[in-house]
A = this chain, B = another copy of it.
Amino acid sequence: MSNKLRFSANINTFNACADRYVLSGYGQRLSTDELIQAATRVPGLTGVELVGLWHVNDDNLEQINRRVRGAGLEITCVTPDIWASARWGRGSFASADSQVRRDAIEQVKKSMEWARQLKCDIIDLWFGQDGYDYPLQADYPAAWDRIVEGTLECAEYLPEVKLVIEYKPKEPRTHCFVGTVGKTLMLLQQVNKPNVGAMIDVGHTLMAYEDAAESAALLQHFGNKLFYMHFNDNWRLWDDDMTVGSVHTVEMLELLYWLDRVGYDGWYALDIFPYREEGVGAATESIRWIEGLHGLLDRIGRARIDEVVARGDALATSALLREALLS
């Protein structure tokens, strides 16, 4: 029997989502307090992720801590904002501008400090703006050296806080440097610090034609480096950030199976963009899908799955899943 899963959500799940056409957003803009209140309405949700400067800063640290804890929630991750303004448009850690690099590193250190004080030990390091849009636009070796160097500096700054690399193949750049599980493993190996690991964002793996289960297994196999999980779904070609369970049923089952098998015991966090859906409902559905699929694995029996995986027998697996899902 598997352990009880712990669920978190990016607190922006409950805010209006915008895209490049509807910049004002499809829903209603809420205050941080309202976002926290929304989070409490999601059954099973016990954690939230905050974004540095958006929700937490030097001045509101105690207040935000009180509000979140008061609402019965934990802070599971602080994400430094090194990607959401024009300042970072040509990169953060990999920027060719040394002042921008310095500022980005400072932003991350600030978030690390805030996280520490908020009793949160996870920092989401997403290098979304570090990449290129056009051919012949990037100095690849220089960029990678800078990413390694900046990550190393942050890692050493507060060794008790974990830096979690969130890789993604593209968007907002047409190509992001840290784009795949393999590149992430290489980065981790270059940095080589115990407090630097990675997360799997399910949608990002789908975009990269990875199997999320394989990616999770590799991160664990080569150094126990899977520190965090982001759940969502998409149509495999873009980061649609849909609710969990909406498209990929079998692959989600496989992922949940492997997370248990490789000993992942971190948070199951949602990173969805419910553009046209109501946020509380979207988070609720996502959690229920994860719990439902996880429970199904228990009902099938892990040993039986171990056995079909060991045989690599696609038809036996098909029958097992089919009977579990359809009868």
Contacts and interface: CB of A to CB of B under 8 A. Distances in A.
B141 A221 contact: yes
Contact of A25 (B26, B83, B86): B86
Counting every copy of the chain, the complex holds 4
Interface string A240-279: 1011011111110110011000100000000001011110
B321 A138 contact: no
A262 B144 CA distance: 14
B134 A89 contact: no
Contacts of A134: 242-243, 246-247, 314, 317-318
Interface stretch (A2-10, A37-45, A110-118, A303-311): A303-311
B315 A285 contact: yes
A166 to B, nearest CB: 13
A305 B136 contact: yes
Interface residues of A, number: 107
Contacts of A314: 133-134, 137, 243, 246, 276-277
A6 B23 CA distance: 32
Contact of A277 (B180, B213, B315): B315
Given A89-B22, A136-B305, A315-B278, A325 B249 contact: yes
A180 to B, nearest CB: 5
Given A96-B310, A209-B235, 8 more contacts: A17-B20, A90-B276, A135-B250, A139-B309, A141-B217, A180-B182, A182-B183, A249-B325
9 A-B pairs closest in CB distance: A182-B182, A292-B326, A182-B183, A249-B249, A134-B314, A140-B217, A141-B221, A135-B254, A185-B186
